[in-house]
Structure formats: structure tokens, C-alpha cells
């Protein structure tokens, strides 16, 4: 795999993670448990849309075939999306969304902290901006996981169920593929080992403090780096891409 192709895939994956996660969070719009939380979640979704826009624009530039961020977001097939599976899972209840946000934001916090040192200037600049945003997402999710875990019997069981269900989607975050290997050699990609260690340490600490048990190691889902997804991504794309598919070149 050539460096250019590896970089394209790398930027695409980071962009897809932001885009699909943003889509899920924006589904909370008008459905939040309280107005303030509704605003918080849609705020996060906007942070992620901004990040997706930067990363997909960059992916298009690296690809060199004149594709814009919109082309990549709205005209790509499911099998060409590389977001981690955890991003596309349906929101479930509020506990599920918060447990996921804890897992993904902690991952992103440590990941982008490392990516700040990337030899690729664009990725490093995007990382510097992103770290500030995800630090807040992480603080917000952490507080809610603590509250729900240490709350009532019902909130405790809901957040524990969410943690148990999501756990099998977490090891995929730390898998490496060919693109990672090519870009690691050039000091462009992040070394995922320290990210994994930091993530485990942080998440375990939060779960402990929230009086939640950490699931035992078991079956782990994988596939997204080859474009193999859960059944849910197709449904997201059919809604998200509907307009551009039905009315190509449509503008406001």
C-alpha cells in the first residue's frame, strides 16, 4: 500500500468516525431528557460534524480526484465507510448513549493527544483543535456515568447493561491495519498501544468509581477497517444520503 492511499484511508476513517457519531448524537435533538442535555448532545454533534468536514476535505485532497467533503459523506457506499462499529450502534437509552460517549470520547482524547505529534501537519492541526472539544465530551460523559452508576437501582442497572453490551465493540478501536503500518513508519499515524493503555486505565477508574463492574474479556466485534459493518450503518446512510441520491447536485 502506498503512502498516499494509506493516508487517504486513515483520514477517511477518522472523518467517518466523527460523521457517524455526529449523526447518532444529533438524533437526540428534541429527545434529550432535559432541554440543557438536548443542547449539550447536539453541541457535541456539531463539534463532530466540524471535525468530519475537516477530515473528509483532507481525505479528498489526498485522494487527488477532486472529491469534496460532501462527495465523500453523501455519495460513498456502505462498504467504503471505515468508522468503528461502536459509532454506528443505535442510541438505545440515555445510559447507552452516555456509556458509548465515555468509551469513544476517552479513546478520542488519548488518540488525538498523540496525533498532535503527527508528522503530517494537517492531521496534527486538526488533532490540536479536536483535543479541546473531546476533553469536554469526556468530562460530560464521565459525570453522567458516575451519576447513573452511583444513582438509583434502575439507573445503575441501565448503565451497567449499556457497558456490558458496548464492551465487545471496544477492542476494535485499538486494532491496526495496513494503513496504520505504512503511516507509522513515517511518524504520521498514532501508536495505538499507549492509547489503549491510557484508555483502559481511565475507563476502569471511572467504572470503578461509578460502582460498575468491568466486563470480562470475551468475544469482540471487528470488521470496520475492511468496510464490513453492522446492519445499522446502511440504515443511517439511506437516510443521510437520501437527498443527494434522489436529487444529485441539489443545493439550497
Partner 1 sequence: MATDTQFPLWEVFIQAKSGANYIHAGSVHAADSKMALQNARDTYTRRGEGTSIWVVPSAAIVASNPDDNDMFFDPANDKVYRHPTFYVMPEGAKAI
Q: How many CB atoms lie within 10 A of CB 30?
A: 8
CB atoms within 10 A of CB 2: 8
Which residues are within 8 A (CB) of 37 and not within 5 positions of it... i.e. 6 or more apart?
A: none
Among 77, 79, 147, 235, interactor with partner 1 by CB under 8 A: 147
| Minimum CB distance to partner 1 smaller for 4 or for 211 | 211
CA gap 145, 64 in Å, rounded: 43
Q: Is 45 in the site for partner 1 (CB under 8 A)?
A: no
CB of 89 to partner 1, least distance (A): 24
Residue 36 makes contact with partner 1 by CB under 8 A: yes
By CB under 8 A, name the one of 25, 40, 179, 183 that touches partner 1.
Answer: 40
228 contacts partner 1 (rule: CB under 8 A): no
Distance CA 49, CA 172 (A): 22
The reply to whether 43 sits near partner 1 by the rule CB under 8 A is yes
Contact predicate 46/136, CB 8 Å: no
User: Should residue 140 be labelled a site residue for partner 1 when binding is judged by CB under 8 A?
Assistant: yes
Give the residue among 86, 82, 85, 84 at the shortest CA–CA distance from 100.
86
Given candidates 2, 34, 152, 247, which one binds partner 1 under the rule CB under 8 A? Answer: 34
- Site residues (vs partner 1, CB under 8 A): 34-37, 39-40, 43, 139-140, 143, 147
Amino acid at each position: 500500500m502506498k503512502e498516499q492511499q494509506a493516508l487517504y484511508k486513515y483520514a477517511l476513517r477518522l472523518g467517518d468516525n466523527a460523521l457517524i457519531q455526529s449523526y447518532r448524537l444529533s438524533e437526540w435533538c428534541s429527545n434529550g431528557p432535559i432541554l440543557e442535555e438536548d443542547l449539550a448532545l447536539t453541541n457535541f454533534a456539531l463539534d463532530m460534524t466540524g471535525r468530519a468536514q475537516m477530515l473528509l476535505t483532507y481525505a479528498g485532497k489526498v485522494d487527488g480526484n477532486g472529491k469534496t467533503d460532501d462527495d465523500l459523506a453523501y455519495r460513498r457506499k456502505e462498504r467504503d465507510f471505515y468508522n468503528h462499529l461502536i459509532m454506528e450502534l443505535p442510541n438505545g437509552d440515555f445510559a447507552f448513549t452516555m456509556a458509548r460517549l465515555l468509551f469513544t470520547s476517552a479513546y478520542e482524547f488519548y488518540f488525538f493527544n498523540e496525533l498532535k505529534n503527527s508528522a503530517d501537519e494537517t492531521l496534527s492541526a486538526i488533532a490540536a483543535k479536536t483535543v479541546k472539544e473531546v476533553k469536554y465530551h469526556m468530562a460530560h460523559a464521565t459525570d453522567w456515568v458516575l451519576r447513573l452508576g452511583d444513582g438509583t437501582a434502575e439507573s445503575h442497572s441501565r448503565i451497567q447493561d449499556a457497558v456490558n453490551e458496548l464492551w465487545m465493540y471496544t477492542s476494535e478501536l485499538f486494532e491496526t491495519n495496513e494503513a496504520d503500518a505504512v503511516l507509522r513508519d513515517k511518524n504520521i499515524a498514532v501508536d495505538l498501544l499507549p492509547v489503549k493503555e491510557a484508555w483502559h486505565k481511565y475507563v476502569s477508574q471511572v467504572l470503578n468509581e461509578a460502582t460498575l463492574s468491568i466486563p470480562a474479556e470475551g468475544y469482540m466485534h471487528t470488521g470496520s477497517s475492511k468496510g464490513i459493518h453492522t446492519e445499522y450503518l446502511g440504515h443511517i446512510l439511506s437516510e443521510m444520503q437520501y437527498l443527494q441520491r434522489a436529487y444529485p447536485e441539489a443545493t439550497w
